[in-house]
Chain A
Amino acid sequence: MKKKLLHLTVNDEYHELYISPKKLLVEILRDELGLTGTKRGCNTGACGACTVLLDGAAVKSCSILAMQADGAKVTTVEGLADGAELTPLQQSFLDHGAFQCGFCTSGMLMSATAFLQEDRATKDIKEGIQGNICRCTGYNSILRAIKAVAEGKYKEEGR
């Protein structure tokens, strides 16, 4: 299959890549750009481990072709912290022990980030991460971590 040119801004960095048009977004992020923070747990869109932000909205990057994201802005877990400075949500995850094995954590953080930025007015926190499976924590520590940020317990310093 003929390769196509993909224009993609990932974590504020602009890329032009020649890719096979059948490649998934998650494959480009992980295999081409080396951003392995984004995981894959099922390849069927069911587990949410591959969740990234696409122009601000949470999407499962195993469920869209990379070419569908042509020209878009993608944020992955690597794009959250500013150097050593964690986002309030990351800090809250740390304080609340909102992860165990950590394999779902990147996707969870991205869904929660989108929830806090976009959907907190209309959705319940539980609904915000309904599409993400965590087999370790039983979710409640994650919900507590997101709630603390939603309630303004973590100041959005400098960001």
Chain B
Amino acid sequence: MKKYTVINTPVHNIDGIAKITGRAKYTFDITLPRMLHGKILRSSYPHAEILNIDTSKAERLKGVKAVLTGKDTLGLKQGIWRRFKELCDEEILARDKVRYIGEPVATVAAIDEDTAEEALDLIEVEYKPLPGVFEPLEAIKEGAPQLHEQAERNINVTRHIEWGDVDDGFQKADYVREDWFRCSSQAHVCMETHCAVADYTPEGKLTVYTSTQSHYYIKVLLAEILGLRENDVRVISRYTGGGFGSKFELDSAQFCSSLLSMKLCQPVKIVLSREEEFTATKRRTPMFYYVRSGVKKDGTFLAKEARVFTEGGAYTAMGATALYLTGFFQSFPYVWPSYRYDGYRVYTNTAPTSAMRGFGAPQATFCAETQIDLIADELGIDPIEIRRKNAMYPGYEVPGQATIQSCGLDQCLDKIDGWIKSRGELPRHRGIGIAAYGFMSGGIFNWFDTPYAFSSAVIQINIDGKVDLFVGSQDMGQGSNTTMAMICAEELGVKFEDIRLHMGDTENCPVDLGAWGSRETLMQGNAVKMAASKAKQQILEFATAKLSPNIVYDLDIKDGWIHLIARPERGLSYYDVVKEAIRGKEGQPIIARGHYTPHRKGMISPAYSFGVQAVEADVDPETGKITLKNCVTAHDCGQVINPLGVKGQLEGAMAMAAGYGFTEDLPMDEGKILNPNLVDYMLLRATEMPETEVMEVETYEPEGPFGAKEAGEGLTNPTAGALSNAVFHATGISIKNLPITPEKVFNALKEKKKK
């Protein structure tokens, strides 16, 4: 019998037909009877006191049903770092002070969007402008304008990571190199903008349809800020049009629509415009990085020191996690005998920065990988060899932080080495750059302070053998619905088509913390596998009674066939046994539960993915223009569950990361984002995509379901670094300031010529 009958087979996405026939209903598509439309008035000042808000004219406009401001809220500050109250610093509807352009100050519900929009113009806000500060290196200076009372010199969070004797390491080093890097911001640009339909009824129950990565978080955060009991709030999110880290914190659409609906007892829908999406939702954290490395002549790493100042924007958001992870992944995926990291997250009068795919690691990897190539170049060592010499390996312990179990980094280096050699001599002005990376499979941290298991699943097996699988995970496009159904089918031994998946509704799905930090495959996957295993056990008890085998035999189910493992021809149909098992249970369907919470797995994550990426690019010496030619990735995500899904995740991450590397940016003038639309914000289009190739290196991760681990997020890490190295090898110039635009390349080339 084949080892697996479902896993690693190309199945169709479980939501696929709904999506390609236009039947998938996103929050954006939801209309309820008596539904009103809401809009949000946002601050046009980066820093100002609110002296007065006069809503009377807006209220008198025909068709307007309610106008609410911060005075109509409970006045609570909220945030996702619930264990640390001082980091819950955002009101969402500002009462006394605004701290960035785009901060909500009032919200309107009206009979249609046009009326609501018109009403916004009639709201009179009297501001007293305050001096603003926009760069972290300015904001930490003594005497800089202060955003929050409790944060002196605007320092929001600090982080320190250290192991080994760093000073001694530098003493012993033959070669020491230090560099400053600037990592830019990036917008998530989910195709479905943030939106919510809130429906509060006189029973005191609030139902919110919303586009989110974590219905559980939104339920809890909404209940808290609105003064409701947690389970009087129901959050429904069946289809989410992209997330990438932007949709697991409470947002203004969710909060304002709920507030308006509670006031009016009518459904209220708020959809953020694309411009609001750019200016007033969270974004990737810009970072100023200082990195110093000490190595031996032969390229052996000895000591590394990194310091980062991040542009926090006006509120903490998920930035505190990004600050930790960037520090941890700055050392990845290498063995650094000694390492010291100090991170400072600094408040600025700009839109808050937070989580985005890679969660601080793409910034770290860009700096680290760019610097490694510069070191290798100085020492005359091949880029593959310097990485191989220092690569993490199975069983390596990152002191005090993490234990690496499965690790296919070495095999990934082999594959990429082979590919580079196969390219032969490159034409002029072309280079291949590589970057190695790793990423976590879900975070261990519980700053949210949930008392629940991190992931849970419930299974019910019905009379016809159909399996109802209830999961808390959120599919935002990454394909977790398909993955969970595959894991369930494999473990239970039934067909993929036998699974009926239920998700995206806090009323009937168990708790899972949501789709962020690449956690679903491992964490929700383990919970599903446990539930399926327990359900299977119940079926096997009945089957054993029926087959009465010698006690030394074990039974299993594969592809709907219950059988003796040693004698697979001897068995029974799963479908027949289920019918009888349910009779035997006094007519109760077979029900089982599973859960997963990491214990004793270090500080970061239970498992890590690894990979190496090579980017081949042309650089036009006349214009500085970069053209991507090839992007090849060798990737270790443990056992592949869904091959089609993994490939899609890897290609998609690469496109986003390439955008981060050379086209996407959010330039600002005194806190105002200058390109808040899809014409001026340069995403990669189909015509700019290079050929992509993915080479899987399969390992077995003992902590993951069937040996699987992270696949969707880590690949956002290497591309910017690989690209900068490609430019370096093509031209001899190293750009340490993202994105690597033609202008920067052109100027650097001109500078080089002068010398």
Which residues of A are at the interface with B, using a C-beta cutoff of 8 A? 30, 35-44, 46-47, 49, 76-78, 80-81, 86, 90, 93-97, 99-106, 109, 124, 126-127, 129-130, 132-143
A138 & B20 in contact (Cβ 8 Å cutoff): no
Measured CA separation A127–B691 after assembly (Å): 15
* Closest Cβ–Cβ distance, residue A106 to chain B (whole Å): 5
* Closest Cβ–Cβ distance, residue B341 to chain A (whole Å): 31
| Chain A residues in 8 Å Cβ range of B75 | none
Closest residue of A by beta carbon distance from B240: A101
| Chain B residues in 8 Å Cβ range of A100 | 242, 477-479, 648-649, 652
Whether A46 touches B679, Cβ cut-off 8 Å, given contacts A36-B29, A90-B21, is: yes
Which of B11-19, B196-204, B584-592 forms contacts with chain A? B11-19
B22 & A135 in contact (Cβ 8 Å cutoff): no
A138 & B692 in contact (Cβ 8 Å cutoff): yes
Whether A102 touches B15, Cβ cut-off 8 Å, given contacts A135-B190, A141-B648, is: yes
Given contacts A42-B678, A95-B12, 17 further A-B contacts (CB under 8 A): A37-B23, A39-B26, A39-B28, A39-B241, A94-B20, A99-B16, A101-B190, A101-B191, A101-B242, A102-B20, A103-B26, A126-B687, A135-B188, A138-B684, A140-B651, A140-B691, A143-B686
| Chain A residues in 8 Å Cβ range of B685 | 130, 133, 139
Whether A102 touches B239, Cβ cut-off 8 Å, given contacts A46-B679, A81-B21, is: yes
Whether A129 touches B686, Cβ cut-off 8 Å, given contacts A36-B25, A44-B679, is: yes
* Closest Cβ–Cβ distance, residue A43 to chain B (whole Å): 7
B656 & A135 in contact (Cβ 8 Å cutoff): yes
Closest residue of A by beta carbon distance from B187: A135
Measured CA separation A139–B651 after assembly (Å): 8
Q: Does B148 contact A (CB under 8 A)?
A: no
| Chain B residues in 8 Å Cβ range of A143 | 686, 689
Q: Does B528 contact A (CB under 8 A)?
A: no
* Closest Cβ–Cβ distance, residue B64 to chain A (whole Å): 19
| Chain A residues in 8 Å Cβ range of B125 | none
Near A by CB (< 8 A), chain B positions 1-44 give 12-13, 15-26, 28-29
A138 & B652 in contact (Cβ 8 Å cutoff): yes
Q: Does B318 contact A (CB under 8 A)?
A: no
Whether A41 touches B689, Cβ cut-off 8 Å, given contacts A95-B12, A135-B683, A139-B655, is: no
Determine which of B21, B192, B477, B677 lies in contact with A46 in the assembled complex, contact meaning CB atoms within 8 Å. B677
- Name which of A96, A106, A126, A135 has the most chain B CB atoms within 10 A of its CB: A135
| Chain A residues in 8 Å Cβ range of B192 | 39, 41, 101, 103
Closest residue of A by beta carbon distance from B643: A97
* Closest Cβ–Cβ distance, residue A5 to chain B (whole Å): 21
- Name which of B22, B240, B692 has the most chain A CB atoms within 10 A of its CB: B22
B20 & A90 in contact (Cβ 8 Å cutoff): yes
| Chain B residues in 8 Å Cβ range of A86 | 17, 20-21
Q: Does B644 contact A (CB under 8 A)?
A: yes
| Chain A residues in 8 Å Cβ range of B28 | 36, 39-40, 103
Whether A47 touches B191, Cβ cut-off 8 Å, given contacts A80-B21, A103-B241, A138-B655, is: yes
Q: Does B722 contact A (CB under 8 A)?
A: no
Whether A130 touches B25, Cβ cut-off 8 Å, given contacts A44-B678, A135-B242, A141-B648, is: no
Measured CA separation A36–B284 after assembly (Å): 31
Q: Does B645 contact A (CB under 8 A)?
A: yes
* Closest Cβ–Cβ distance, residue A1 to chain B (whole Å): 11
Determine which of A39, A130, A142 lies in contact with B191 in the assembled complex, contact meaning CB atoms within 8 Å. A39
B241 & A101 in contact (Cβ 8 Å cutoff): yes
Query: Could you list 28 A-B pairs, sorted by A, with CB under 8 Å?
Result: A38-B22, A39-B26, A41-B192, A41-B193, A42-B274, A42-B678, A76-B22, A78-B23, A90-B21, A93-B16, A97-B648, A99-B16, A100-B648, A101-B192, A102-B24, A109-B20, A126-B689, A129-B686, A135-B244, A135-B656, A135-B683, A136-B242, A137-B652, A137-B655, A138-B684, A140-B651, A141-B647, A143-B689
| Chain B residues in 8 Å Cβ range of A93 | 16, 20
Measured CA separation A78–B25 after assembly (Å): 13
Near A by CB (< 8 A), chain B positions 168-215 give 188-193
Q: Does B273 contact A (CB under 8 A)?
A: yes
Measured CA separation A150–B382 after assembly (Å): 43
Measured CA separation A142–B129 after assembly (Å): 49
| Chain B residues in 8 Å Cβ range of A42 | 274, 677-678
B677 & A142 in contact (Cβ 8 Å cutoff): no
Near A by CB (< 8 A), chain B positions 225-251 give 239-244
Determine which of A76, A97, A109, A140 lies in contact with B13 in the assembled complex, contact meaning CB atoms within 8 Å. A97
Which label, helix, strand, loop or mixed, suits the secondary structure of the B interface? loop
Determine which of A37, A90, A130 lies in contact with B686 in the assembled complex, contact meaning CB atoms within 8 Å. A130
Measured CA separation A143–B655 after assembly (Å): 14
B274 & A41 in contact (Cβ 8 Å cutoff): yes
Closest residue of A by beta carbon distance from B482: A97
Q: Does B476 contact A (CB under 8 A)?
A: yes
Measured CA separation A30–B192 after assembly (Å): 15
B22 & A127 in contact (Cβ 8 Å cutoff): no
A97 & B22 in contact (Cβ 8 Å cutoff): no
B648 & A137 in contact (Cβ 8 Å cutoff): yes
The 4 closest A-B pairs by CB, nearest first: A37-B22, A101-B477, A138-B655, A103-B241
B189 & A135 in contact (Cβ 8 Å cutoff): yes
Interface string of B642-676 (1 = CB under 8 A from A): 00110111011111100000000000000000000
B12 & A36 in contact (Cβ 8 Å cutoff): no
Closest residue of A by beta carbon distance from B271: A40
Closest residue of B by beta carbon distance from A100: B477
Closest residue of A by beta carbon distance from B193: A41
* Closest Cβ–Cβ distance, residue B219 to chain A (whole Å): 22
| Chain A residues in 8 Å Cβ range of B678 | 41-42, 44, 46-47, 133
A44 & B477 in contact (Cβ 8 Å cutoff): no
Measured CA separation A39–B195 after assembly (Å): 13
Closest residue of B by beta carbon distance from A137: B652
* Closest Cβ–Cβ distance, residue B188 to chain A (whole Å): 8
| Chain A residues in 8 Å Cβ range of B653 | 138
Measured CA separation A77–B18 after assembly (Å): 11
Measured CA separation A93–B647 after assembly (Å): 14
| Chain A residues in 8 Å Cβ range of B644 | 96-97
Measured CA separation A78–B654 after assembly (Å): 31
* Closest Cβ–Cβ distance, residue A24 to chain B (whole Å): 12
| Chain B residues in 8 Å Cβ range of A132 | 686
Closest residue of A by beta carbon distance from B650: A138
Measured CA separation A68–B578 after assembly (Å): 60
Measured CA separation A95–B16 after assembly (Å): 10
Whether A105 touches B20, Cβ cut-off 8 Å, given contacts A94-B12, A133-B685, A137-B648, is: yes
Measured CA separation A49–B242 after assembly (Å): 13
| Chain B residues in 8 Å Cβ range of A39 | 26, 28, 191-192, 241
Near A by CB (< 8 A), chain B positions 679-697 give 679, 683-687, 689, 691-692
| Chain A residues in 8 Å Cβ range of B29 | 30, 36
Whether A135 touches B191, Cβ cut-off 8 Å, given contacts A39-B28, A94-B16, A99-B16, is: yes
A133 & B191 in contact (Cβ 8 Å cutoff): yes
| Chain A residues in 8 Å Cβ range of B273 | 43
- Name which of B20, B240, B479 has the most chain A CB atoms within 10 A of its CB: B20
A104 & B19 in contact (Cβ 8 Å cutoff): no
B652 & A127 in contact (Cβ 8 Å cutoff): no
A139 & B20 in contact (Cβ 8 Å cutoff): no
Measured CA separation A85–B529 after assembly (Å): 34
- Name which of A30, A40, A41, A102 has the most chain B CB atoms within 10 A of its CB: A102
